[in-house]
Structure 1
Amino acid sequence: MMNPISTPGAFTELDKFMFEAWGYIIIPNVLTADEVKDCLEASVRLHEAAGTRGWAQVGKGFETEPALERLIDHPAVLPKVRALYGDRFILQSAWCTKQPAFGGNGSWHQDGSGAYDFSKLGYPIPLIQLRASFLLTDQSVPRTGNMELIPGSHRSQAPLPQSVRKSGDDVPIGHVICAEAGSVLLFHNAVWHRTYAHDGDYDRYTMHYIYSPPWVRCSDRFDNDKAFLERTTPVRRYLMGQFERPDAPFGAGYPVELESE
């Protein structure tokens, strides 16, 4: 099976071509075995504290779990995010997802906002949510809770048929991502995707970090935790949206004589 394999760090010209063509890239060997273990244990604690049952996701775990905080600006991933967005972007949300043992397929969807369909913004659907998914359990073979994506579907002018979405049927061009724990899947919000079946007798965990333009509202929190902001690094505070905007207050660029009118 073909795979858009990248390497940690810089966003290369080949990365750019693969991302534009397929809508995603896979970065193997981002986390060490010890880092995977620490992040997996942190993920389990988050879900136990939240009392989740079945398929579930818990947000803003970076506020209480140092192992997950360190992934916010991981040097294997952040340069690629910066290459796609420029210098101004935020961590819009961070979701720790759990697919339970013996879980079935999820439904086909594109990422976005339930309040506003990103497809209304134009064609091709713009990059509003760039997702970096850190695999915390092994997914090197199919049916281990993998992500399944449709390559190039972020460029399709035709939506995936409603009948397929409603039924959850397989599609002949679906690509089941097979990668070891510690790998990262970086993908565009407009790529059609779903959670693939999980036949294992253990829960599958993935930590998702979603990066967006600075004007997008956060979805895993209403406000940033003040204690977290005080103790974290300057770069991570920036990614929380705690920076001065050159256009604030809005209208500040107008001549002084017009401001009093």
Structure 2
Amino acid sequence: MTALQQEQSFNAISQPGEFTELDRFMFESWGYLIIPDVLTADRSKACLDASIRLHEKAGTSGWAQVGRGFESEQVLDDLIDHPAVLPKIRALYGDRFILQSAWCTKQPAFGGVGGWHQDGSGAYDFKQLGYPIPLLQLRASYLLTDQSLPGMGNMEMIPGSHRAQAPLPADIRRDKSDLPIGHVVCATAGSVLLFHNAVWHRTYKHDHDYDRYTAHYIYSPPWVRFSDRFANDKAYLARTTPVRRYLAGEFERPDAPFGAGYPTAFED
């Protein structure tokens, strides 16, 4: 078996749509799933073009991310409740959750590795909430450029690290060191990486002469504050669908912020 075949065989591969019993076992064991070929080549290219427009409009340089692109780019709005991914999010959260943020991320050509980290809030470390760290940010990452081989700006994950009671050593984090248990996720453009906020991960190196783009959609319980916006754009709310308005957090809340009575927009 070649190194590439070994890499491709070491994947928590799921299928679009239903969250199966095997999906749950893999997600609970590793903290992430890979859903290949969610977007067609044409749709993936359209989302890539939209992401490039967002970064050009924002005037970004180097590694950068631009939020709330769904408000101005229809193809990115269509990813919010994509039928290949939404059933898995509902299976993990139930029917009451919001889109906390959406980021179009660019890694520049010939970009180096990023730093190891867990997702969370800079204001409050999620590990202070308890063990295991709860699922507060479920990330669906749409790969918009090919990452089918290592060295293409892939995500590198540490499988099962969302359950680790020991911290990642400080020197590993400081030096951005490689790890023998790191898993470089290899998948084609249009695939989705779905992962738990507590999985240790980083951006892997990018050895090619074009920028790498990924569209990240982060889903949270309904009481979590937005992280890519202070409020939703009114024009966007007027033209989008009822389900997406709900996921944007625009619904009538109960009397108490943590009380019962949160509505749901989903009908089965």
TM-score, normalized by length of structure 1? 0.95
Could you tell me which amino acid in structure 2 is paired with residue 229 of structure 1?
L
Counterpart of 2:136 in structure 1 is: 128
Larger Rg: 1
Provide the identity percentage: 76
TM-aligned CA distance change 1:251 to 1:161, over 3 Å: closer
Which of 62, 74, 77 aligns to 2:70? It is 62
Q: Write the deviation string for residues 57-105 of structure 1: whole angstroms up to 9, x where unpaired.
A: 0000000000100000000000000000001000000000000000000
Structure 1 residue 252: Cα displacement = 8.1
Counterpart of 1:257 in structure 2 is: none
Please give the alpha-carbon distance, in whole angstroms, between the structure 1 residues aligned to 2:257 and 2:37.
44
Counterpart of 2:232 in structure 1 is: 224
Structure 1 residue 136: Cα displacement = 0.2
Counterpart of 2:111 in structure 1 is: 103
Q: Does 1:158 align with 2:166?
A: yes
Which of 228, 235, 254 aligns to 2:243? It is 235
Counterpart of 2:264 in structure 1 is: none
Structure 1 residue 117: Cα displacement = 0.1
Could you tell me which amino acid in structure 2 is paired with residue 233 of structure 1?
T
Instruction: Structure 1: give runs of 5+ residues left out of the alignment.
Output: 254-261
Instruction: Structure 2: give runs of 5+ residues left out of the alignment.
Output: 1-6, 261-268
Please give the alpha-carbon distance, in whole angstroms, between the structure 1 residues aligned to 2:20 and 2:199.
21
1:18 counterpart SS class:
helix
Which of 203, 207, 217 aligns to 2:215? It is 207
Structure 1 residue 251: Cα displacement = 9.2
Q: How many residues align?
A: 252
Structure 1 residue 125: Cα displacement = 0.1
Please give the alpha-carbon distance, in whole angstroms, between the structure 2 residues aligned to 1:76 and 1:218.
24
TM-aligned CA distance change 1:185 to 1:250, over 3 Å: closer
Which of 15, 24, 30 aligns to 2:38? It is 30
Structure 1 residue 244: Cα displacement = 2.1
Q: Does 1:244 align with 2:252?
A: yes
Which of 110, 116, 120 aligns to 1:112? It is 120
Please give the alpha-carbon distance, in whole angstroms, between the structure 2 residues aligned to 1:222 and 1:161.
35
Structure 1 residue 249: Cα displacement = 4.0
Please give the alpha-carbon distance, in whole angstroms, between the structure 1 residues aligned to 2:255 and 2:73.
33
TM-score, normalized by length of structure 2? 0.92
Please give the alpha-carbon distance, in whole angstroms, between the structure 1 residues aligned to 2:255 and 2:74.
32
Counterpart of 2:11 in structure 1 is: 3
Please give the alpha-carbon distance, in whole angstroms, between the structure 1 residues aligned to 2:186 and 2:123.
32
Counterpart of 1:48 in structure 2 is: 56
The answer to whether the 8 A contact 2:18-2:88 is kept is yes
1:142 counterpart SS class:
coil
Q: Write the deviation string for residues 212-248 of structure 1: whole angstroms up to 9, x where unpaired.
A: 0001000000000011001000000000111123x32
Please give the alpha-carbon distance, in whole angstroms, between the structure 2 residues aligned to 1:26 and 1:223.
31
Structure 1 residue 250: Cα displacement = 5.3
TM-aligned CA distance change 1:173 to 1:230, over 3 Å: same
Could you tell me which amino acid in structure 2 is paired with residue 130 of structure 1?
L
The answer to whether the 8 A contact 2:223-2:258 is kept is no
2:141 counterpart SS class:
strand
Please give the alpha-carbon distance, in whole angstroms, between the structure 2 residues aligned to 1:252 and 1:131.
26
